[in-house]
């Protein structure tokens, strides 16, 4: 499998600096995948997701509570330590409390040319959500035009929509290969593809994806996947954690989190009003617990469908420590998977400072429990 994705993940900051130097464009950081990236890209700006380093840090504690999730504290620490000095601006879409606080502290302590707080509907399928969201996108577009001094024309939006839909289509095609009895790609490889897409120019990234897809289709040496697992829950870009799982006799065949399928699963469908089309795409995307808070939980239908389509035999429910929205979701998700599909699950609370060995014994025990049923 091509290694461009691994190289980009290892050198994500260098990539953004080089892109900025090569194109003369601006770079904007964002925390949550509710950012309407098509509008940013249409303005000639590279959107880069702000992620942590998976290393211990103490810088963030003086700014936000130590009871906030490790992800938001690690992200803020990266900014405070100067790792994102190349950013020209930052956008904070309305997300969970912890991410909102990290964004507010970043904006206060790391001055930038541009910052924008983007209001996002909490209940995406409410009747008022669509008109509200379209107006917010229009205001956001105007703010980018004012900052850059250039109008974002319809042709610019068309180009951006096409670039992003193409990238999503390649990722969907690669994910579909994981339905095979012997998937030609691993869960770790797919995570590298998705996370790297959040850090790079989608037009360039799609070239790598095309190559990766062709290599996967042509692959003849496909090992037995062992136990077929799904991962779902909080944000997780820790590819080493997925490699650990897959080193123990399992393959992650599908996921549901915002550094996985939830990021790219649906497309912008053409409409006369481009902002309306973009708004619909984000409102109809697979929901996370922070945006799916009514009794009729859309994700409770989406998750078992994924598990069934990809023939998952077990589920690993990951939760960033102190992530309340996902923690509240875990009991009903476990019950739904077991009652509807007979799929056992393992809940793992994650922290960036915990060594992988802390998870190994629990994962080994879980897979040993599953082995007799699927031997």
pLDDT, tens digit (0-9, with 9 covering 90-100), for 178-207: 999 999 999 999 999 999 999 999 999 999
In a domain, 256, yes or no: no
Instruction: Report the alpha-carbon distance of residue 349 to residue 322 in Å, rounded.
Output: 9
Beta strands 45-49 and 26-30 are parallel
Q: What pLDDT does residue 213 have? A: 97
How far is residue 44 from each of residues 25, 230, 238, 241, measured CA to CA in Å? 6, 36, 30, 35
Show Cβ contacts of residue 80 under 8 Å, excluding neighbours closer than 6 positions: 59, 60, 63, 109, 110
Instruction: For 223-267, write each residue's pLDDT tens digit.
Output: 999 999 999 988 888 888 899 999 999 999 999 998 999 999 999
Instruction: Report the alpha-carbon distance of residue 97 to residue 94 in Å, rounded.
Output: 9
Q: Which two tokens stand for residue 165?
A: 């839909």
Strand order in the sheet with 26-30: 45-49, 26-30, 89-93, 114-118
Which structural domain, as residue segments, surrounds residue 118?
A: 4-154
Mean pLDDT of the chain: 91
In a domain, 351, yes or no: no
Pick from 262, 261, 230: nearest CA to 245: 230
Domain CATH for 35: 3.40.50.11890
When divided into structural domains, the chain yields a total of 1
In a domain, 110, yes or no: yes
Q: What does the radius of gyration of the chain's CA atoms come to, in whole angstroms?
A: 20
The answer, yes or no, to whether residue 329 has pLDDT greater than 60, is yes
Q: Which two tokens stand for residue 333?
A: 């998700």
| This model's pTM is above 0.85 | yes
The band of 56, judged by pLDDT with boundaries at 50, 70 and 90, is: confident
In a domain, 111, yes or no: yes
Instruction: Report the alpha-carbon distance of residue 315 to residue 70 in Å, rounded.
Output: 22
- pLDDT: is 62 or 43 the higher one? 43
Segment 359-368 long-range contacts (CB within 8 Å, at least 24 positions apart): 359/241, 359/244, 360/244, 360/248, 363/244, 363/245, 363/248, 363/316, 364/248, 366/314, 366/316, 367/226, 367/227, 367/248, 367/249, 367/250, 367/314
Instruction: For 95-145, write each residue's pLDDT tens digit.
Output: 887 888 889 899 999 989 999 999 988 876 777 889 999 999 999 999 999
Instruction: Report the alpha-carbon distance of residue 174 to residue 5 in Å, rounded.
Output: 14
Q: What pLDDT does residue 293 have? A: 65
In a domain, 83, yes or no: yes
Instruction: Report the alpha-carbon distance of residue 341 to residue 121 in Å, rounded.
Output: 32
In a domain, 229, yes or no: no
Q: What pLDDT does residue 262 have? A: 94
Instruction: For 333-354, write each residue's pLDDT tens digit.
Output: 999 999 999 999 999 988 776 6
Instruction: Report the alpha-carbon distance of residue 152 to residue 375 in Å, rounded.
Output: 57
The answer, yes or no, to whether residue 12 has pLDDT greater than 70, is yes
In a domain, 46, yes or no: yes
The answer, yes or no, to whether residue 1 has pLDDT greater than 70, is no
Q: What pLDDT does residue 17 have? A: 97
In a domain, 348, yes or no: no
Segment 99-107 long-range contacts (CB within 8 Å, at least 24 positions apart): 99/31, 99/32, 99/71, 99/72, 101/64, 101/65, 101/68, 101/72, 102/31, 102/60, 102/64, 102/68, 102/72, 102/73, 102/75, 102/76, 103/31, 105/60, 105/63, 105/64, 105/76, 106/76, 106/79
- For the purposes of burial, counting CB atoms within 10 Å of the CB of 213, is it exposed (0-12), middle (13-18) or buried (19 or more)? buried
């Amino acid at each position: 499998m091509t290694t461009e994705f691994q190289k980009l993940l290892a050198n994500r900051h260098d990539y953004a600096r080089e892109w900025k130097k090569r194109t003369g464009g601006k770079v904007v950081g964002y925390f949550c995948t509710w950012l309407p990236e098509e509008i940013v890209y249409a303005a000639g700006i590279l959107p880069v997701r702000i992620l942590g380093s998976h290393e211990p840090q103490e810088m963030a504690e003086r700014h936000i509570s130590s009871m906030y999730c490790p992800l938001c504290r690690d992200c803020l620490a990266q900014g405070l330590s100067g790792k994102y000095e190349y950013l020209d601006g930052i956008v904070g879409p309305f997300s969970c409390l912890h991410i909102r606080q990290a964004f507010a502290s970043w904006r206060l302590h790391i001055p930038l040319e541009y910052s924008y707080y983007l209001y996002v509907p909490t209940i995406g399928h409410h009747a008022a959500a669509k008109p509200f969201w379209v107006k917010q996108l229009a205001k956001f577009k105007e703010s980018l035009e004012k900052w850059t001094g250039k109008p974002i024309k319809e042709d610019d939006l068309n180009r951006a929509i096409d670039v992003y839909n193409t990238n999503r289509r390649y990722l969907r095609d690669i994910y579909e290969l994981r339905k095979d009895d012997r998937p030609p790609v691993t869960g770790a490889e797919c995570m590298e593809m998705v996370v790297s897409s959040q850090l790079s120019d989608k037009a360039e990234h799609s070239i790598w994806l095309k190559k990766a897809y062709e290599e996967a289709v042509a692959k003849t040496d496909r090992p037995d996947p062992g136990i077929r697992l799904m991962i779902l829950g909080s944000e997780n870009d820790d590819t080493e954690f997925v490699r650990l799982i897959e080193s123990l006799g399992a393959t992650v065949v599908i996921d549901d989190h915002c550094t996985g399928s939830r990021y790219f699963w649906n497309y912008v469908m053409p409409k006369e009003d481009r902002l309306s089309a973009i708004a619909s795409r984000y409102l109809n995307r697979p929901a996370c617990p922070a945006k799916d808070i009514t009794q009729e939980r859309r994700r409770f239908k989406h998750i078992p469908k994924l598990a069934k389509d990809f023939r998952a035999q077990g589920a690993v429910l990951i939760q960033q420590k102190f992530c309340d929205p996902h923690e509240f979701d875990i009991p009903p998700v476990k019950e739904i998977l077991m009652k509807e599909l007979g799929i056992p699950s393992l809940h793992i609370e994650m922290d960036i400072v915990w060594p992988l060995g802390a998870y190994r014994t629990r994962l080994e025990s879980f897979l040993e429990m599953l082995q007799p049923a699927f031997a």
